[in-house]
Amino acid sequence: MIESKILSNVNDVTRNLINDYLQKHGITLNAFSKLVGINQPILFKFVNYKKNVSTKTIEKVGKFFNQ
């Protein structure tokens, strides 16, 4: 199932979406965190140190990209 493959890679996919968005729009992680309403230190650890985040945080990022 494609859904199970997506779920198994959700953190990597989300990191890639964030990094691509930052590069494409030329903004900082701090500016992005304000756009999505997530504390910058949480996103910093997630993007730079590959720390996992809560599903609520992943959902916020997903909602932002689906606007």
Q: Where are the domains of the chain?
A: 2-65
The DSSP output letter for 1 is -
Q: Which segments of the chain have a pLDDT < 70?
A: 1
- Give 21's contacts (C-beta < 8 A, 6+ positions apart): 27, 32, 65
Domain 2-65 fold:
434 Repressor (Amino-terminal Domain) (1.10.260)
Dump pLDDT digits (tens) for 44-58. 999 998 888 999 999
CA distances to 1, 3, 12, 43 from 53, in Å: 24, 19, 11, 8
- pTM exceeds 0.95: no
Q: Among candidates 21, 17, 15, which has minimal Cα distance to 52? A: 15
